[in-house]
Structure 1
Amino acid sequence: MKNLSIPIKYGLAIAAGLIAYFLILSLFNAHINPIFSLFNGVIMAYGMWEAIKHYRLAKGTKFKYQKAFMASLFTGFNASLIFTIFFGIYATELNPDFLDNLITMWRNDYDTGIGIVLFVVAIMGFATSFVLTLAFMQLYKDSWNTKEGKKHTY
């Protein structure tokens, strides 16, 4: 459980930030404009960066690239799942007219329902998590441009 504490803790924090941002947008009726979801990436990036940083501090000299990669990925996946669940509850229970306002053209032309919207929200979160993890972990790779690194070449 100790290894999962960072992904759970930071996943919950990221999800809380995403939910708070969404609710703030809803106060101004801006949550129906998909362009504002770009800031979700910033929230995810900050939270995942902090998770990796905390993981590295916690592990010290026992820091392993692969385990940090998984911790970062699970952090993003946890946040994405929690936000997707919230989004589903919001779109079906709290504001049933939300989907009609969000996807007016698609809903009429393609018969788009809540299932496909939740699928897209989840996939966007997972993809963002994966890309951010790949980008951040580049900073923690061992360099082969040093004398120590050249010993490991094949």
Structure 2
Amino acid sequence: MKNISLPIRFGLVTSAVLIAYFLVLALVDKHTNPAFSFFNALITGLGIYEAVRFKKIENFNSFSYAEGFKTAIITGAVATIVFTVFFLLYATEINSGFLHELLRTVNGGFNADIGMVTFVVAIMGFATTVVAALTVMQYFKKTGNVPQ
């Protein structure tokens, strides 16, 4: 359990920042604009970066690419799951008109329900997690280059 406590903690903090960002957007009535969700990738990437950085500090001599990648995936998955649950609760319980307004803003003529939109939010979060994990691990991997 000690091996995954760090990514779970960072995943919870990352999800809290994602939720806070969403609620700040809701305060200024910009939460229905999908363009603002691109910043979610930066928040997730930063959370993953910090989790892997702390993992490398914690296990400097035994740190491996696989260990860092596992830390990154768990961090992003926890953040995605918690944010998706919040999104579902927000769209169904807190602001029941949110889904209609979101689909009107997208203006794609979609006939989607809350299940489909929540599924898309989860898939986007998991895709962002994989991309951010691969990107962050390029920074933390051990290089085989010979110094000049």
TM above 0.5:
yes
Change (3 A) 1:2 1:107: same
Matched, 1:92 2:109: no
Moved over 6 A (4+): 105-108
5 Å-filtered alignment, 1:1-154, equals 1-104=1-104, 109-146=109-146
Per the TM alignment, residue 111 of structure 1 is displaced from its structure 2 partner at its CA by 2.0
Report % sequence identity. Answer: 44
- TM-score, length of structure 1 as denominator length: 0.90
Answer 1 or 2: higher relative contact order, Cα 8 Å, separation at least 6. 2
- TM-score, length of structure 2 as denominator length: 0.93
Root-mean-square deviation (CA), in Å? 1.6
Residue 44 of structure 1 contacts residue 129 of structure 1 at CA under 8 Å; is this kept in 2?
yes
Give distance in 1, aligned partners of 2:70 and 2:108: 41
Residue 77 of structure 1 contacts residue 129 of structure 1 at CA under 8 Å; is this kept in 2?
yes
SS of 1:60 mapped into structure 2: coil
Per the TM alignment, residue 146 of structure 1 is displaced from its structure 2 partner at its CA by 1.4
1:78-133 deviations in Å (ceiling 9; x for gaps): 10000000000000000000000000277994320001101110011001110011
Give distance in 2, aligned partners of 1:71 and 1:95: 34
- Aligned pair count reads 147
Change (3 A) 1:90 1:18: same
Residue 34 of structure 2 contacts residue 106 of structure 2 at CA under 8 Å; is this kept in 1?
no
Per the TM alignment, residue 42 of structure 1 is displaced from its structure 2 partner at its CA by 1.3
Residue 10 of structure 1 contacts residue 51 of structure 1 at CA under 8 Å; is this kept in 2?
yes
Give distance in 2, aligned partners of 1:146 and 1:93: 58
1:50-83 deviations in Å (ceiling 9; x for gaps): 0000000111211121011011111001100000
Structure 1 counterpart of 2:65, one-letter code:
Y
Give distance in 1, aligned partners of 2:105 and 2:89: 22
Give distance in 1, aligned partners of 2:105 and 2:56: 47
Residue 100 of structure 1 contacts residue 107 of structure 1 at CA under 8 Å; is this kept in 2?
no
Give distance in 2, aligned partners of 1:114 and 1:95: 12
**Which has more helix, going by share of residues?**
1
Structure 2 counterpart of 1:139, one-letter code:
Y
